[in-house]
Structure 1
C-alpha cells in the first residue's frame, strides 16, 4: 500500500535542501533588513533637516521669483534640485544599503562603479519625473488649498499609471537588456503557457538581471499594452528546469491575468489621499519643529523637505499595510500558478532558491510587519498542500 503524501514532511524536505548555516545567513540578512527601515527613515529625516537649515531651497525660490511670481518654474526647479541634493547627501547610506550590504552577503557581483553609475542615472531620471509630479501637486495645492488632498489620489493614480506605462519602454532598457525567450524548450513551454492563459506570447522576456543582482527572480511590469513578464538570467544560471520555469512564469502570469498591478496602484492611490490629508494637517507643526521659518507654507515648494519628513513617518508606520497588500497579490499569484500549471514541486524548487535574501520561516508577527511576500516556508507548504489535494493531476515523477 502506497504511503500517504505528507505535506509537512515534504515542506521540511525542501527547506532542508539548504544547510543550517545558509538559513542562518538568510535570517541575518533578512532581519538586518528590518532594521534598515528604521535607519533609512532616520537618515531621511536628518538629510531633510540639513536641507532646511541650509536654506538652499528658499534661496533658490527667491532667486527664481526675484522679478515676478513663477509658481510652475519654481515647483519644477526647486523640486528637481531638492531631489538631487537629497540623493547626494543620502549617497553614503544608499551605497551601504544598496550595494555594500548586498556585496557582503553575496547577493551582487556588480562593481561599485557600476552601481554608482546606474544610481546616478536613476537619480537623474527620477528627479525629472518627480519634478513634474511636484509641478502638478503644487498647482493642485494653489488652486484648491482646502481640498487639494482629496484630489491627490487621482493625481497619484495618474502618475503611477504613467510610470508603469513608460517604465518597460523607456526606463528599464537603460539598465538591462530585454530579449524574447530564446528558441528552445523553455520558449516553447512559455509560449504554450501564454496561449493557454490568454496572455500575449510576445510579452515573455529574459533580461540580464545578473548584471545587478545574483538573486533568483522574475517579475511583471508595465500596464496595458506595455505589460510584460520578465525572467532574470539568474534563474537559468542557477539551473532552473522546465518545471521551475512553469511554476515561476505561471506565478508571474497570475499577476498579469489578475491585474494585480492595477489594483495595487489603486490601493496606493487611496492611501495617498490619507497621507496627503495628514500632510495638510501636520505641515505647519512639523515645519516649526524642523526650524523652517522661511518656508511660506504648504504651497511653498521650498517646504519639500518638511513634506518628505511627514511622508517618511507615514511610510514607516504604514509598512505593514503596504506589505500586506502586496502579500495578498503574491499569494493569489501562487494560487494561479498551481491552478493553471500544476507545478507544486517546480514552484517549490524555485522558491527555495530565494531563501538567501528572504528568510524561510519567520514568526507570524515578523511576517505581517516586514514581509512583502509570504515567507518561503509558507509558500512551499501551500504548494505541498495543493499537491496533496490534487493527487490525480500530479505531474509524472513527482
Structure 2
C-alpha cells in the first residue's frame, strides 16, 4: 500500500509540473471579433491592471489545479499509512458514545487535512493580498479559517455519524437512505445560512442608503421577492472586490449588498446588479439548482455505494478495514470528491447558462445597457478578473461566463429587444 502511495505521489508530482507549466505559459489571445469593442479589456483596464490580472489569474489557476488533487492525496495518505485506523481506534477507546467517537475522529481527520492544506490556503491569501484584492489582516484571515474549520467539522460530524450508522444498519442500501436524509438536511442549511452561518464571518446590518433601499425593494416587488428590507455587509476591511446576492429561503430570505459595491458603483449600476440577482430568484434558478443537486446526489451516492463496496472487498484486508469501520470513511470522502470534480464542468455549464438568463432578465427589468456594461467592466477591473480564460479553466472553474462573452451577449440581446 505504501509503495502504491509512492507511485501515486510520483504521478501527482509529474501532473503538478505539467499543469503548472501549461497554465503559466499558455496565452489565450482575444478573438478578433472582440478587439476594440466594449468587451475588450484594453478598453476599460489600464496596462498595469491587464498585467496584474494575467499574473493573478495564473497564480489562482495553478493553485486550484494543484490543490484539488492534493486533497485526494490526503485521503489516500491517512488510509494507506494507517492514520485513519489509528484515529478510529483511539476515538473508540477514549470515548464511549458513538456520536462522540465520530466527533473525535472527524476532528482529528480535519486537523490533518487543515495542517497539510494550510500552505495552499496561505499562499492563496498572500497572493490575493499582494495583488491588492484582499486587504484582510492575517489575524482576521486566521479567524475566518478557524470558523470555517469548526463549521465544516460540525457539519462533517453529523454527516459521517449518519453514514456510519446507516452502513452498520444497512450495508447494501446505506447510500439510498443517506440520499433521502440529505434532502431535508440541505434545505435546513439553506434556511440557516443567511442568519446563522454567514454572520459568523461578517457583520450584517440594514442598508444605510434608504433611497437606494426603496428602489431595490420596488424592484423586488416586481420580481415577486418577499423581502421587506435590504442588508449591507461590511467587506471593506477584507477585500476590494465587489458583490451582491439574494439567498436563503422562506422568512430567512435576504437581499445583501457588499459595502464595497455601494461605495464604488453608481446607483444605476447597483440596481442592475440587484436586478440580476433577483432574476435568479424569479426565474427559479435556486429551486432548479436544488432539484438538480438532489438528482445528482442520488446518482453520485449510488456510485459511491458501489465503489465503496468494491474497494473494501478488494483492498479492505490490505488496509485493515472492514465495511462498517469508522476508519473507512475517508474512502467515501475520496470518492465523493473525485465525483464532484468530474461533474464540475457540467455543473459549471448549467450555472453559466443561468447567469446569461439572469443577465437578460436584468436588462429587461432595467432597460439600462450602459449601466450593465459599465458594471461588468468595473467588476472585472476591480477584481482583476481574467475576462478570456483558457478553455480548461473555463470548464473547471468558471461558474459565470467569461466577461468578454458576457458583455457581448448582453449587448446583442439588448439590441434584439429594442
TM class by smaller structure: 0.7 to 0.9
Structure 2: gaps spanning 5 or more residues: 1-32
After TM superposition, where is structure 1 displaced by more than 6 Å over at least 4 residues in a row? 6-9, 287-292
Are the counterparts in 1 of residues 162 and 178 from structure 2 also a CA contact under 8 Å?
Answer: no
Are the counterparts in 1 of residues 80 and 319 from structure 2 also a CA contact under 8 Å?
Answer: no
Q: Does 1:266 align with 2:291?
A: yes
Selected match of 1:58 from 71, 85, 109: 85
Are the counterparts in 2 of residues 220 and 227 from structure 1 also a CA contact under 8 Å?
Answer: yes
Selected match of 1:27 from 37, 54, 58: 54
Say which is worse superposed, 178-187 or 99-108, in terms of deviation.
178-187
User: C-alpha separation between the residues in 2 aligned to 1:168 and 1:267?
Assistant: 22
Aligned runs of 1:104-253 on 2, under 5 Å?
A: 104-238=130-264, 240-253=265-278
SS in 1 for 2:388: coil
Structure 1: gaps spanning 5 or more residues: 1-5, 392-398
User: C-alpha separation between the residues in 2 aligned to 1:7 and 1:193?
Assistant: 32
User: C-alpha separation between the residues in 2 aligned to 1:249 and 1:93?
Assistant: 33
Aligned runs of 1:20-99 on 2, under 5 Å?
A: 20-53=47-80, 55-66=82-93, 71-97=98-124, 99=125
Are the counterparts in 1 of residues 41 and 387 from structure 2 also a CA contact under 8 Å?
Answer: no
TM-score (norm 2): 0.82
- Count of aligned pairs: 383
TM-score (norm 1): 0.86
User: C-alpha separation between the residues in 1 aligned to 2:110 and 2:40?
Assistant: 48
Determine the structure 1 residue equivalent to 2:405. 378
User: C-alpha separation between the residues in 2 aligned to 1:371 and 1:13?
Assistant: 19
Deviation string 1:280-299 (CA, Å, 9 cap, x unpaired) is: 233366567799712222x3
C-alpha displacement of 1:76:
3.6
Determine the structure 2 residue equivalent to 1:395. none
SS in 2 for 1:352: helix
Q: CA RMSD in A?
A: 2.9
User: C-alpha separation between the residues in 1 aligned to 2:325 and 2:110?
Assistant: 16
Determine the structure 1 residue equivalent to 2:5. none
- Residues 80 and 272 (structure 1), Cα distance of their counterparts in 2 relative to 1, 3 Å cut: farther
Q: Does 1:319 align with 2:348?
A: no
User: C-alpha separation between the residues in 1 aligned to 2:222 and 2:142?
Assistant: 42
Determine the structure 2 residue equivalent to 1:396. none
Are the counterparts in 2 of residues 260 and 329 from structure 1 also a CA contact under 8 Å?
Answer: yes
Are the counterparts in 1 of residues 386 and 402 from structure 2 also a CA contact under 8 Å?
Answer: yes
Are the counterparts in 1 of residues 91 and 105 from structure 2 also a CA contact under 8 Å?
Answer: no
